[in-house]
Amino acid sequence: MATIGWIGLGNMGLPMTKNLITAGHSVRGYDLSESARSAAEANGVTACTTVAEAVAGADAVFGMLPNGKISKEVFCGDGGVLEFAEPTALLIDSSTIDVASAREIHEAAQQAGFAFVDAPVSGGISGAAAATLTFMLGGRPADTARAKELVEPMAGNIFDCGGPGNGQAAKIVNNMMLTVSLQGAAEGAVLADKLGLDAQTFWNVASVSSGDSWPLRTWYPVPGIVETAASNNGFEATFSAALAHKDAGLAQAAAADVGVTLPGAKVAFESLQKLMDEGYAEKDCSLIIRNIDPQAPGVPQE
Ligand code: NAD
């Protein structure tokens, strides 16, 4: 069994480390937040107060952090992982970050003689708790093969997506498609209602027709149709507008980097931006239906 250093014990890091411990690994965890460290300690993590302490003697080090800037600081900055990890440790970043930052960390890690894998996940907090996350790995084949074994206790699916940064690329493209499909499902729900269709009847048609999509089946933004939808619960977040906005923004930036325009993704991004601007960052991303019809059923009224 391995000793694992873990940086970032938030909503995702907490249940993920719990599953590693259940699988018999020992985890040394660091987070800036004292309450995050205490919660992890209650799950069996050895709480550490510096990155150096968390990575000491570790066979592998994971990051589960908010964004690319922070991942770069934690891995490559002063007092960071590259400075203190054991030379043989496998370094894995499971944060969702921009492809360019992921590739910079790969480059720095390689120059410092480390094996590094980008390994973002899909499946949210519930998938983290249930150990059913989808992992998208990017790195050299020998390194992703090592990473596969380590992420297994947290995973439902594991994909080797190719070279450095390709895990992040797959994650960003997937989530970009998700936001576009969500925009379509929300517009469809409103138009169906305005044309006089019963919501359940229309959903029954679309879910077995060409209008079907993952958000239609999982997040339909009309209450009482789909059990897992946030619309049943005042749009309390299952996947917050802030996180969806972050991922949609990463796709916009990636598209600009490679010189393509994505008109549909831009509409979805702007719709999420409007929710952010109007104070709904912590509500569910499916509340974008509010931008189409502020009076839609289930939409919280001021
Ligand atoms: P979170 O904000 O709950 O956790 C991030 C943790 O990192 C916090 O506890 C914070 O204190 C800590 N942190 C920040 N800077 C730090 C630093 N310099 N050193 C040490 N700790 C630091 O976020 P989360 O929901 O756990 O998400 C983590 C990552 O996973 C993000 O990149 C997110 O996009 C991705 N993700 C989240 C979900 C989800 O549904 N929550 C799903 C898939 C992927």
Complete DSSP assignment for 180-217: HHHHHHHHHHHHHHHTT--HHHHHHHHHTSTT--HHHH
- Taking the CA atoms of the chain, what radius of gyration do you get in angstroms? 20
Which residues touch 149 (CB under 8 Å, ≥6 apart)? none
Q: Is the distance from CB of 125 to CB of 280 less than 8 angstroms?
A: no
Strand pairing partners for 240?
284
CA of 11 to the centre of ligand 1 (A): 7
AA identity, residue 99: V
Mutate which of 30, 45, 65, 69 to test ligand 1's pocket (most atoms within 8 Å of Cβ)? 65
Say if ligand 1 is within 6 A of residue 16 CB.
Answer: no
* CA 31 to ligand 1 centroid distance, Å: 10
- For ligand 1, say whether the CB of 46 is within 6 Å of any of its atoms: no
Alpha-carbon gap, residue 290 to 270, rounded angstroms: 13
CB of 125 shorter than 6 A to ligand 1: yes
Instruction: Specify whether 171 is catalytic.
Output: yes
**Angstrom distance (rounded) from CA 67 to CA 59:** 24
Cβ of 216 less than 6 Å from ligand 1? no
Does residue 226 have its Cβ closer than 6 Å to ligand 1?
A: no
Task: Tell me, in angstroms, the distance from the centre of ligand 1 to residue 96's CA.
Answer: 9
Query: Is 71 in contact with 7 (CB distance < 8 Å)?
Result: no
Residue nearest to atom 34 of ligand 1 (CA): 96
269's enclosing H/E stretch is: helix 263-277
Residue 37 and residue 246: Cα distance in Å, rounded? 25
Question: Residue 165 in 3-state DSSP?
Answer: coil
- Concatenated DSSP letters of 25-47: -EEEEE-S-HHHHHHHHHTT-EE
In the reported structure, the alpha carbon of residue 76 is separated from the centroid of ligand 1 by a whole-number distance in angstroms of 18
Taking the CA of residue 123 as centre, how many other CA atoms within 13 Å lie in the half-sphere pointing to its CB? Answer: 22
Q: Is the CB of 95 under 6 A from ligand 1?
A: yes
To test the pocket of ligand 1, the residue of 53, 64, 157, 284 to mutate (highest count of ligand atoms within 8 Å of its CB) is 64
Neighbouring CB atoms inside 10 A of 149's CB total 12
Cα–Cα distance between 162 and 170 in angstroms, integer?
10
Instruction: Please tell me if the CB atom of residue 55 comes closer than 6 angstroms to any atom of ligand 1.
Output: no
Please tell me the predicted confidence (pLDDT) of residue 182. Answer: 98
Closest to 269 measured CA to CA, from 158, 183, 170: 183
Instruction: Compute the distance from residue 45 Cα to the ligand 1 centre, in Å.
Output: 17
- 17: its two tokens: 């480390």
- HSE, side-chain direction, 13 A CA sphere, residue 256: 9
Residues 6+ apart with CB under 8 A from 197: none
Residues 6 or more apart in contact with residue 34 via CB below 8 angstroms: none
pLDDT of residue 238: 87
Q: 18, 72, 148, 171: which is the annotated catalytic residue?
A: 171
Q: Kindly give the parts of the chain with pLDDT less than 50.
A: none
Strand partners, 91: 61, 116
DSSP 8-state assignment for residue 50: S
Ligand 1 neighbourhood includes 13 CB (under 6 angstroms): yes
**In the 8-state DSSP scheme, what is residue 285?**
G
Q: For residue range 97-116, list pLDDT tens digits in order.
A: 999 999 999 999 999 999 99
Please list the alpha-helical segments (H only) found in 77-165.
Answer: 81-84, 99-111, 124-130, 141-151
